[in-house]
Every structure is written in C-alpha cells, then in structure tokens.
C-alpha cells in the first residue's frame, strides 16, 4: 500500500463522527478534531489523527470522560484554576485558554493552572488560539516519565512540552505571511509522539533517539523506555520547572508518579497543565508590536543560510507554510479548517496518511459505521 493524501475537511469530519460514536458532544468532538487536524496540517503528524484510536480506547473504558463537568475557580484578579474532571485534554485546555485570555483582557495578564486533565495533543494549537486574539501566550504540560535526566540512568520527568507564541503581521513594509511566532518543543530530544507514529507505521527509528530498559540505544520503537533531554542539563532543568508549574502547583502527581499514557490504561491520566496569556496592548498598540516583530522576522529571514540550506526559518514558520501545502480545498474552494491560520494560497494536496495508520482509520470506521475518508 502507498501513502494516501486525504483532504483535511474529510479527515476532520471522520474524527468528529468517531468521537460522537463514543459519546462525545458535537462541540467537544469538533475541538478535538481541530487540534488533531491542525497538527497534521502543520506536519506534526505525531500529534495528529494517529492519537485518535488511543482516545477512543480511553473514552470507552471511562478513563477519559466523554461528558466532563469543567469547573473554573478564580483565585485572584489574574489567577485561576480549572478542574478538567478527567475530560479530553483538548477540551479542557481550550477552556483554560479562554479563561486566561479573559483574565488578561481585564487585568493585563491571566494565568490558569489546570488539574485532572488528560493528553491535549499539540501545545502550539492552544498558543495559536491565544495569539489569534492578539495576546502573547505560554502553554505547558507535564507528562508521564520518559526523559532520562542528565547524569541519570532511568526516566524521571516526562517529555514536558512547552509552547510560547506572539502574533505577527502579514501586511505593511515587513510582511511575514501572517504566520505567528510559535515555539513548540518537547524537553526531550524528540517527542514521544514520534515513537508512537513509528509504532503505528511499523518502521524503525534512529538509534540515537532513545534507550531501552538496559540503557542501550535501540532502533526498535517498541523497546524505547527513555529519551534524551535537549541540551543535556539545560533540558533536564527545564523539564523540572515545567513539572513544578504543572504538577506541584496544581496538586497533581509528578514525574514517575504520573499515570502512563499507554501503560496504565485502567487509570485516568490526571495531568496538570499551565497557561499564561499576556495583553500586549498594555505595553504598546498591538499594531505597533506586530509591525516591529514583522520587521525583525523579515530581517531574520534575510540571513544567509548555511551551505546546502535554502533559508533561515523562525519558530513556527515551517509549520505555518506546511499548513498551506497540506490544506486541501473544500467544496467551496476557499473555506479553511476551523482555527487554522488563514493563508492566501489553497493548494489541493491534502494530508499524507501512511499505510499503517490508514488501516487503523479503516478499522475505526468499520467499527463505528463511519465512512472512511480517502
């Protein structure tokens, strides 16, 4: 079998219908589909539809609630805490971002700690929502132990991703295509999602990605038990800081005490997250900020690339441009997927789905009587 190209809207509809079949409300199913499809459009396939089967399994066994009761408590003018009630992490974090932006609009900044949540997909998705409102944003989450700290022999912290973003301009004398600056990274040298994707596609991984249970490099994704931190002690330290924000501050389990995403399937994840929104207008007019940032980005893009390179990219630019390449036209030819950054070009290409993952999609479609795209 060959890799298939599937239109984003068709894949989004499939995700929504499968989630609805296991009890998720249409509104919440749409949020999850938006997050997964944005990841695929951006080329972050490790956080895209490859995760759907896992969410379905947890929704069916009750470790993720299809209809959670989210509760937000404001603790101070700019601070609040959100209880996710073991719901889908995507739904929980969209609510957390909404609350953080509302606090920032009123007070200049808004910080929301999140407890009792689950895997929320690509962190940059939520930062993208914040910057689309004209705010700067920071999103982070703790995950189950996978990172082997610098100097240690066994995992302790999770890959603990963090995303930071700022809105930018797409007009004026310093155009950037309107693609916001979004740094989205794990504190491990790669995200575990890439391991999960390799498992689903049945392919080996580079042996320098991680370690097996004996502490040896392995090319078998099924034998991976630990990943290297980015930049040695710096990555280890950043992973700890994120765990403090997301786990210690929220009263959730930390590091090795967090229920494993794939190992502890009979237990809710009960993850902690953290989101911060900052009102740029409290420092300067938003258009001024966007223009100044646009000038910097244009100057940055003009740097001479290294030998063999084509250009120098700023954080989030590659993903933004890949969205343009992967987004397939829908019926009216001009309608973008919800929450995906607007672009001027609509290229009829689609999202590539490898054979192994496509078979999972076919299986879900047959099981829940949902038409399979592609």
Q: In whole angstroms, give the CA distance from residue 322 to residue 190.
A: 19
Whether the per-residue pLDDT at 261 is higher than 90: the answer is: yes
Query: pLDDT per residue over 70-99, tens digit each?
Result: 999 999 999 999 999 999 999 999 999 999
Cα 112 to its chain centre, rounded Å, is 18
Q: What's phi and psi for 273, nearest 5 deg?
A: -130, 175
Q: Residue 331 above 60 pLDDT? A: no
Strands 109-117 and 271-279 turn out to be antiparallel
Q: How many CB atoms lie within 10 A of CB 37?
A: 28
Task: Examine the pLDDT at 359 and tell me if it is beyond 90.
Answer: yes
How far apart, in Å, are the Cα atoms of 294 and each of 135, 174, 268, 314? 16, 5, 43, 11
Chain segment 104-142, per-residue pLDDT in tens: 999 999 999 999 999 999 999 999 999 999 999 999 999
Confidence of residue 176 (pLDDT cuts 50, 70, 90): low
Burial of 92 (0-12, 13-18, 19+ CB in 10 A): buried
Helix (H, G, I), strand (E, B) or coil at 348: coil
pLDDT of 6 above 60: yes
Which is higher by pLDDT, 192 or 195? 195
Cβ–Cβ under 8 Å, residues 145 and 256: yes
Query: Which tokens in the block code for residue 19?
Result: 């989630």
pLDDT at position 336? 38
- Asked if the model's pLDDT at residue 329 lies above 70, the reply is no
pLDDT for residue 194: 85
Candidate from 5-9, 27-31, 190-194, 258-262 with smallest mean pLDDT:
190-194
Buried (b) or exposed (e) across 311-328, using 16+ Cβ within 10 A? Answer: eebbbbbebbbebbebbb
Domain 1-61+317-374 has what CATH class?
A: mainly alpha
Least confident of 53-57, 149-153, 232-236, 269-273: 149-153
**Where would I find the beta strands (DSSP E) of the chain?**
4-6, 71-76, 79-83, 109-117, 135-141, 162-166, 181-185, 210-211, 226-227, 271-279, 351-353
Band the pLDDT of 302: cuts 50, 70, 90.
very high
Task: Say what the pTM is.
Answer: 0.89
What value, to the nearest 5°, has the Cα angle with vertex 28 and ends 248 and 46? 65
- What's the confidence (pLDDT) of residue 174? 46
- The encoded tokens of residue 34 equal 């938006």
* CA gap 347, 329 in Å, rounded: 7
Mean pLDDT of the chain: 90
pLDDT tier at 350, thresholds 50, 70, 90: confident
Cβ(190)–Cβ(352) below 8 Å: no
Flag whether pLDDT at 340 surpasses 50.
Answer: no
DSSP letters, 25-38, are -HHHHHHHHHHHHH
Q: What is the pLDDT of residue 345?
A: 33
Distance CA 64, CA 50 (A): 17
Residue 211 dihedral angles phi and psi, to the nearest 5°: -125, 150
DSSP line for 231-282: TTHHHHHHHHHHHIIIIITTT---GGGSPPTTT-TTS---EEEEEEEEEGGG
Give 220-237 pLDDT, tens digit per residue.
999 998 999 999 999 999
pLDDT at 211: 87
Tell me the mean pLDDT in the region 351-361. Answer: 93
CA 64/CA 149 separation, integer angstroms: 30
210-211 and 181-185: which strand pairing? unpaired
> Which range among 27-36, 192-201, 251-260 shows the weakest confidence by mean pLDDT?
192-201
Could you check whether 1-61+317-374 and 68-189+228-302 share the same CATH topology?
no
208 has pLDDT over 90? no
pLDDT at 192 over 90: no
Domain boundaries, the chain: 1-61+317-374, 68-189+228-302
Rounded CA-CA distance 44/224 in Å is 20
Residue with tokens 């409290």: 282
What is the CATH architecture of 68-189+228-302?
2-Layer Sandwich (3.30)
Check pLDDT > 50 for residue 171: no
Q: What is the pLDDT of residue 342?
A: 35
The pLDDT of residue 347 is above 90: no
Q: What tokens does 40 get? A: 């695929």
Which of 9-23, 95-109, 212-226 is the least confident region? 212-226
Query: Buried (b) or exposed (e) across 331-345, using 16+ Cβ within 10 A?
Result: eeeeebbebbbebee
């Amino acid at each position: 079998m060959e890799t298939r190209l599937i239109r984003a809207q068709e894949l989004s509809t499939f995700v929504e219908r499968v989630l609805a079949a296991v009890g998720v409300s249409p509104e919440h199913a749409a949020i999850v589909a938006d997050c997964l499809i944005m990841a695929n459009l951006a080329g972050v396939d490790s956080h895209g539809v490859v995760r759907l089967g896992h969410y379905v399994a947890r929704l069916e066994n009750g470790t993720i609630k299809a209809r959670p009761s989210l509760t937000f408590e404001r603790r101070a003018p700019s601070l609040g805490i959100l209880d996710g009630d073991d719901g889908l992490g995507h739904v929980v974090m969209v609510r957390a971002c909404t609350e953080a932006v509302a606090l920032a609009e009123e007070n200049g900044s808004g910080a929301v700690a999140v407890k009792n949540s689950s895997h929320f997909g690509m962190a940059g998705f939520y930062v993208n929502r914040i910057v689309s409102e004209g705010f700067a944003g920071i999103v982070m989450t703790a995950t189950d132990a996978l990172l082997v700290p610098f100097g240690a022999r066994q995992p302790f912290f999770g890959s603990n991703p963090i995303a930071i973003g700022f809105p930018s301009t797409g007009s004026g004398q310093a155009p950037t295509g309107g693609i916001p600056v979004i740094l989205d990274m794990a504190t491990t040298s790669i995200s575990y999602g890439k391991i999960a994707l390799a498992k689903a596609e049945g392919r080996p991984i580079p042996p320098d990605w991680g370690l097996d249970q004996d502490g040896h490099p392995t090319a078998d994704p099924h034998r991976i038990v630990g990943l290297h931190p980015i930049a040695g002690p710096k990555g280890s330290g950043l992973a700890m800081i994120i765990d403090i924000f997301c786990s210690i501050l929220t009263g959730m389990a930390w590091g090795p005490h967090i229920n494993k995403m794939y190992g502890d399937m009979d237990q809710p994840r009960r993850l902690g997250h953290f989101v911060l929104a900052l009102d740029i207008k409290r420092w300067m007019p938003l258009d001024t900020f966007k223009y100044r940032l646009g000038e910097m980005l244009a100057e940055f893009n003009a740097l001479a690339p290294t030998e063999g390179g084509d250009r120098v990219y700023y954080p989030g630019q590659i993903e933004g441009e890949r969205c343009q390449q992967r987004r397939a036209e829908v019926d009216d030819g001009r309608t973008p997927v919800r929450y995906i950054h607007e672009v001027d070009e609509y290229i009829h290409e689609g999202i590539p789905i490898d054979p192994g993952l496509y078979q999972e999609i076919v299986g879900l479609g047959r099981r829940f009587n949902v038409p399979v795209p592609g």
